């Protein structure tokens, strides 16, 4: 670790006294009232008024007919995958996954929770490369994947960092190939695409109330569907698949995935503050954009003619010519200081030295050891070949690896003041001196 405090490039910059977080929970008071209500009325389990109200509020906000409150976004995605798998291939024998023997197209540059549920259900994950316009699934690569694997019937997409993907294109391709779409809107709650809320675009969709999301329950998630039978099935599965009998009677495999009424109280208290959080995140994004102007770098792209993101995380990407030497192994990274240049590894180390939390771009799934043998389809078609080293301009055609190499997530905590954003931007600016 270099000594940034004594590095003349950073002269005059003070470390933050209180740590600046990437994205931490922001409480308002109402959360405690609803949690207390659960406590005083003794609805301290997975039944109660908070769960009912949070399900109602979610449907109302997103514009979806049914929502099912679950323990986490990951459990929502798992039950969604299982429902879609049963819709496509029927119910498997107990102990077997719904997707066994079937390929599924999955977003590549995302958090692993988006795609792991496909593996839980025994599916074979085929990763689809990313495009530069929204940093989401590339419709051209998806089209290519259907040429290679025309039998595929399920696509798992995500809206990374709160920016909606190219939904019209992706939906049209799915329709043309008779494939179902699972939409992971965990990071994009409150974002709209052509005026419509994300969470409405999948045959089934999911959102998350994890501690770092735009609003939180400390944990929690929602499965969203327009099919009443599927909503009921997800609710039943999530409570151990109990049948209507006096004793514990089971016809199907069950899960303990239901949302707690205490957690739901926190979410309920957060709901009135969703738009306020989005406004704060938006202000942070545009302040960074203003303060980082002129650097050989850009913010994560946002096309406001098409969408209004929730700006959950502000990110930046360094121009290829301005990248200093950077090499990443599986768990460590090295870089070389070069005048006029920088890289995510240097910037993240500098931020950390000044008590600021940033984070690398979510490492693409095809680069993860766990999925190293899985197929990966790029628009250019030459697929794998990019390594952990910086490969932009080499024609490898691996957009995810390129964004991972050159991009990073900036602290985007909605409690940040504009002065704090300015100081963070100044630290980043000095990295290029």
Ligand X SMILES: *Cc1c(COP(=O)(O)O)cnc(C)c1O
Provide the minimum distance between the beta carbon of 222 and ligand X in the complex, in angstroms, as a whole number: 10
Distance, CA of 351 to CA of 361 (rounded, Å): 15
When the beta carbons of 146 and 257 are compared against ligand X, the nearer one is 257
Axis-axis angle for helices 418-431, 274-291 (nearest 10)? 40
When the beta carbons of 128 and 353 are compared against ligand X, the nearer one is 128
State how beta strands 359-360 and 407-409 pair: antiparallel
Q: Which range, of 97-105, 182-190, 265-273, 280-288, touches ligand X by CB under 6 A?
A: 182-190
Contact with ligand X (CB under 6 A) among 72, 260, 310, 345 = 72
When the beta carbons of 10 and 161 are compared against ligand X, the nearer one is 161
Provide the minimum distance between the beta carbon of 362 and ligand X in the complex, in angstroms, as a whole number: 8
Contact with ligand X (CB under 6 A) among 25, 48, 69, 73 = 73
**Among 197, 111, 101, which Cα is nearest to 154's?**
101
Please, which residues have CB within 8 angstroms of residue 60's CB and are 6 or more apart in sequence?
none
Contact with ligand X (CB under 6 A) among 50, 74, 98, 136 = 74
Distance, CA of 9 to CA of 432 (rounded, Å): 9
Under rule CB under 6 A, residue 156 binds ligand X: no
Contact with ligand X (CB under 6 A) among 23, 67, 98, 110 = 110
DSSP string, 145-164: HHHH-TT--EEEEE-GGG--
Contact with ligand X (CB under 6 A) among 68, 155, 158, 262 = 158
* CA dihedral sign, ordered 18, 19, 20, 24: negative
When the beta carbons of 113 and 165 are compared against ligand X, the nearer one is 113
When the beta carbons of 173 and 215 are compared against ligand X, the nearer one is 215
Provide the minimum distance between the beta carbon of 159 and ligand X in the complex, in angstroms, as a whole number: 8
Question: Which residue of this chain has its Cβ atom nearest to ligand X in the complex?
Answer: 73
Provide the minimum distance between the beta carbon of 338 and ligand X in the complex, in angstroms, as a whole number: 33
Please, which residues have CB within 8 angstroms of residue 191's CB and are 6 or more apart in sequence?
159, 162, 163, 164, 185, 197, 198, 307, 308, 309, 310
Under rule CB under 6 A, residue 371 binds ligand X: no
Under rule CB under 6 A, residue 130 binds ligand X: no
Counted residue by residue, the chain has a size of 433
3-state class of 326 per DSSP?
Answer: strand
Distance, CA of 48 to CA of 42 (rounded, Å): 9
Is 185:203 a contact under the CB 8 Å cutoff? no
Under rule CB under 6 A, residue 183 binds ligand X: no
Neighbours of 353 (CB within 10 A): 18
Residues 207-236 that bind ligand X (CB under 6 A): 208, 210, 221
Provide the minimum distance between the beta carbon of 107 and ligand X in the complex, in angstroms, as a whole number: 8
State how beta strands 180-184 and 154-158 pair: parallel
Residues 296-325, mask of contacts with ligand X (x by CB under 6 A): ------------------------------
Contact residues for ligand X, defined by CB under 6 A: 72-74, 110-111, 113-114, 158, 184, 186-187, 208, 210, 221
């Amino acid at each position: 670790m270099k000594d940034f405090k004594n590095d003349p490039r950073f002269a005059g910059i003070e470390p933050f006294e209180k740590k600046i977080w990437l994205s931490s929970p922001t409480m308002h008071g109402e959360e405690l009232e609803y949690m207390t209500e659960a406590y005083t009325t003794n609805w301290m389990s997975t039944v109660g008024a908070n769960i009912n109200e949070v399900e109602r509020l979610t449907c109302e906000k997103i514009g979806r007919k049914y929502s099912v409150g679950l323990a986490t976004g990951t459990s929502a995605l798992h039950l969604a995958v299982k429902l879609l798998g049963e819709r496509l291939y029927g119910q498997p024998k107990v102990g077997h996954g719904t997707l066994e023997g079937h390929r599924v197209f999955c977003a590549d540059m995302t958090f692993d929770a988006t795609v792991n549920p496909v593996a839980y259900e025994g599916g074979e994950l085929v990763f689809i490369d990313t495009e530069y316009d929204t940093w989401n699934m590339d419709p051209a690569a998806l089209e290519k994947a259907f040429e290679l694997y025309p039998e595929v019937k399920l696509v798992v997409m995500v809206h990374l960092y709160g920016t909606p993907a190219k939904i019209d294109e992706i939906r049209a391709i799915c329709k043309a190939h008779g494939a179902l779409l699972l939409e992971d809107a965990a990071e994009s709650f409150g974002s709209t695409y052509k005026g419509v809320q994300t969470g409405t675009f999948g045959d089934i969709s999911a959102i998350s109330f994890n501690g770092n999301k735009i609003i939180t329950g400390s944990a929690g998630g929602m499965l969203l569907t327009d099919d009443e039978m599927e909503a009921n099935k997800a609710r039943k599965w999530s409570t151990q698949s109990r049948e209507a009998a006096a004793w514990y009677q089971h016809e199907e495999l069950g899960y303990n995935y239901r949302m707690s009424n205490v957690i739901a109280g926190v979410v309920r208290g957060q709901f009135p503050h969703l738009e306020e959080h989005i406004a704060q995140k938006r202000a942070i994004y545009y302040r960074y954009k203003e303060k980082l102007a002129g650097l050989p770098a850009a913010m994560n792209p946002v096309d406001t003619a098409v969408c209004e993101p929730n700006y959950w995380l502000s990110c930046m990407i360094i121009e290829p010519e301005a990248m200093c030497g950077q090499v990443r192994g599986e768990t460590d990274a090295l870089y070389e200081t070069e005048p006029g240049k920088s890289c995510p590894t240097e910037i993240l180390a500098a931020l950390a030295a000044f008590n600021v939390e940033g984070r690398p771009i979510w490492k693409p799934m095809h680069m993860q050891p766990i999925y190293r043998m899985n197929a990966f389809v790029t628009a250019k078609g030459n697929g794998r070949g990019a390594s952990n080293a910086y490969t932009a301009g080499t024609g490898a055609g691996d957009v995810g690896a390129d964004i991972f190499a050159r991009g990073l997530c900036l602290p985007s905590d909605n409690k940040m003041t504009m002065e704090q954003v300015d100081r963070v931007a100044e630290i980043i600016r000095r990295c290029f001196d």
